[in-house]
């Protein structure tokens, strides 16, 4: 136990507080986004992530949002297990035909007023996979979308900016 605590103490807090210097420091941007999301929203935000057919690249970056640098959960923005508990659906794509039905069900299970954010080039417009016998393409082809975050995959910062943009549309 003691080595463990020593390690935690030595690692310190990596999500840095606001700093005056270094305007292009990503950590400063992270902090600004945190504050703004909470200011706009005024409360916690719960997100249900739905992979509707991605290559898993976008999921790697969504995972990164919870690492100590971005520390989304540390600010009350939480990923939840059920769409019934969610304010926002964060959906990666393209929507495969085999996931089309499941995505519709998840959407219907999310209480109103709900926000839908389409993640990645594939989620925005079908990306390299497009529309085909197996792919419905963009998330917007299947459920209503509030905000689109392009990128292959979008960086964690871009994801945070997109989440902020979605929260703004709700206000």
**Interface residues toward another protein, by CB under 8 A:** 3-4, 7-8, 11, 14, 49-64, 66-69, 79, 81-82, 94, 96-102, 106, 127-137, 141-142, 152-153, 155
Nearest CB to another protein, comparing residues 39 and 102: 102
Query: What are the backbone dihedrals phi and psi of residue 22, each rounded to the nearest 5 degrees, phi first?
Result: 65, 70
CA within 13 Å, CB half, 156:
19
- Residue 148 sits at φ, ψ, to 5 deg, of -115, 135
Smallest CA-to-CA distance from 115 within 39, 41, 167 is with 167
Residue 122 CB, shortest distance to another protein, in Å, is 8
Picking from 134, 135, 161, the residue whose alpha carbon sits closest to that of residue 147 is 161
The β-bridge partners of 38 are none
CB of 59 to another protein, least distance (A): 6
Nearer to another protein, 32 or 63 (CB): 63
What is the Cα–Cα distance from 5 to 54, expressed in whole angstroms?
A: 38
Nearest approach in angstroms of CB 137 to another protein is 6
d(CA 153, CA 140): 18
Q: Which is nearer to another protein, 19 or 132 (CB)?
A: 132
Choice between 147 and 156, CB closer to another protein:
156
> In whole angstroms, what is the distance from residue 112 CA to residue 92 CA?
20
Give me the least distance between CB of 130 and another protein, in Å please.
Answer: 8
Least Å distance between CB 76 and another protein?
17
CB-nearer residue toward another protein: 44 or 152: 152
């Amino acid at each position: 136990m003691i080595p463990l605590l020593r390690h935690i103490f030595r690692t310190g807090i990596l999500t840095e507080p606001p700093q005056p210097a270094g305007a292009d420091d990503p950590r400063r941007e992270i902090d600004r986004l945190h504050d703004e999301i909470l200011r706009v929203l005024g409360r916690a935000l719960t997100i249900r992530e739905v992979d509707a057919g991605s290559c898993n690249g976008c999921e790697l970056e969504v995972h990164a949002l919870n690492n100590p640098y971005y520390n989304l959960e540390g600010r009350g923005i939480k990923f939840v297990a059920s769409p019934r508990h969610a304010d926002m659906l964060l959906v990666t794509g393209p929507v495969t035909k085999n996931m089309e039905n499941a995505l519709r069900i998840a959407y219907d299970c999310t209480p109103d007023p709900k926000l839908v954010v389409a993640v990645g080039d594939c989620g925005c417009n079908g990306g390299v996979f497009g529309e085909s016998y197996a792919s419905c393409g963009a998330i917007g082809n299947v459920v209503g979308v509030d905000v689109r975050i392009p990128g292959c995959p979008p960086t964690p910062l871009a994801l945070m900016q997109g989440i902020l943009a979605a929260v703004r549309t709700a206000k």
